[in-house]
Amino acid sequence: MTKLSVNINKIATLRNARGGDVPNVVKVALDCERFGAEGITVHPRPDERHIRKADVYDLKPLLKTEFNIEGYPAPEFIDLVLKVKPHQVTLVPDSPVQLTSNSGWDTKSHYDFLSEVLDEFNNAGIRTSVFVAADSQMIEYAAKAGADRVELYTEPYATTYNVDPDKAVKPFVEAAKVARNLGLGINAGHDLSLANLNFIYKNIPWLEEVSIGHALISDALYMGLEKTIQEYKNCLR
Ligand code: PXP
């Protein structure tokens, strides 16, 4: 079964636009779970422009499903994750000022750094995932560095899906096979939507988890959160 992890950063962005506590991030996360999400993802950034550290601490004791914290492993992030101990940490190579993640790790160039960080999380009993492009060498180095999983950066799939779905998915299927042969679990995320999710799932049915934020929260404006989550889950069958 491929788990749907809802990235709730957009909910925090909406809340922060007005100060105050509307919408309430914890309530939305618990509602996502109630409506069928199998995980919650947050991406705290140093400037706290969406998810704040306090949100991460608030969420941890209340979530009943998989808690995934993603982000760049700066000392402050590492400290937060080690304190909160989520089910999974996903390492993302984004700079603090970046609007959103726009590439996977160069796991070869950053091999020593990633090995050290992964070791720290592995020793703390937190499952590790490394965000990578659909590139077999990057996946091989992620495995060597000690990752439990890789998260495939699916933006290139999403942008070319409309032109030629088979061509768009092919490198991802190849990459997922490489990861599977290395014993890595495979997650996927970025720009997945109701339009393109089922196709990648059908081509890589052994995906462990998809992490989806922007499109899902946008769809919820029209369909409501409950129906939207059901629709995304229907794409994973
Ligand atoms: N995975 C990672 C590592 C991300 O950084 C993001 C965006 O925060 C996502 C998944 C979700 O992407 P989207 O918001 O496009 O669904």
> Could you tell me the residue ranges of all domains in the chain?
3-234
CB distance 52 to ligand 1 below 6 Å: no
Give the catalytic positions in this structure.
Answer: 43, 70, 190
- Note the pTM of the prediction, 2 decimals: 0.97
Task: Give all strands (DSSP E) within the chain, no chain letters.
Answer: 3-7, 39-42, 66-71, 88-91, 127-132, 149-153, 185-189, 209-212
* pLDDT value at residue 102: 80
* pLDDT value at residue 99: 67
CB distance 196 to ligand 1 below 6 Å: no
pLDDT for residue 12 is more than 90: yes
* pLDDT value at residue 97: 66
CA of 122 from ligand 1 middle (Å) equals 23
pLDDT tens readout for residues 129-146: 999 999 999 999 999 999
AA letter at 16: N
CB distance 100 to ligand 1 below 6 Å: yes
C-alpha triplet 36, 40, 43: angle, nearest 5°: 155
Please give the CATH superfamily to which domain 3-234 belongs: Aldolase class I (3.20.20.70)
Give the rounded percent of residues in the chain with a pLDDT score beyond 90. 96
pLDDT for residue 196 is more than 70: yes
pLDDT for residue 113 is more than 70: yes
Q: Which atom of ligand 1 is nearest to the CA of 70?
A: 3
Position 95 confidence tier, pLDDT thresholds 50, 70, 90: confident
